[in-house]
Every structure is written in C-alpha cells, then in structure tokens.
C-alpha cells in the first residue's frame, strides 16, 4: 500500500528501510523522502516503523529461531 503519495513510497519500502537499519522517522525520511512534502504520511510511517521494530524484536527473541 502507498504510504507517501508525494514520493510514491510503499509500506514495503518503509519496512525494508527499517530492516536495513532505519530506526526513526528521520532516517526513513532521509532515505525515502517520506514526510518531507505535505507530511500527511508521517503518522502512518511512524507507526509502520514502530510495528516493524517490534516485529524484529520479537523475531530476535523467538525460541524457535534457528531451529532446523
């Protein structure tokens, strides 16, 4: 889904940026241009960042990780 219409940025692109190390809206803004024009996407982008960071934390602490 498109999050930032001004720059054509999707939720997938934001999640990928977080996986690659972006931890703040400022990081994602610098990388993708999110929330740098009209700003209507800022809240949604911020929530996606928080959710993705939470998902990564859960995955990192999963007892089933690296089980083959």
Confidence of residue 59 (pLDDT cuts 50, 70, 90): confident
**15-24 pLDDT per residue, tens:** 999 999 999 9
Rounded CA separation 2/58 (Å):
26
CATH of residue 37's domain is 1.10.10.1100
Domain annotation covers residue 66: no
Structural domains counted in the chain: 1
Rounded CA separation 48/53 (Å):
8
The one-character DSSP state at 40 is T
Domain annotation covers residue 32: yes
Domain annotation covers residue 67: no
Domain with 23, as residue range(s), is: 2-60
């Amino acid at each position: 889904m498109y999050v930032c219409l001004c720059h054509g940025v999707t939720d997938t692109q934001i999640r990928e940026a977080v996986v690659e190390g972006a931890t703040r809206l400022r990081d994602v803004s610098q990388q993708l241009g999110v929330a740098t024009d009209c700003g209507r996407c800022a809240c949604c982008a911020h929530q996606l960042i928080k959710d993705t960071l939470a998902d990564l934390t859960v995955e990192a602490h999963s007892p089933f990780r690296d089980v083959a």
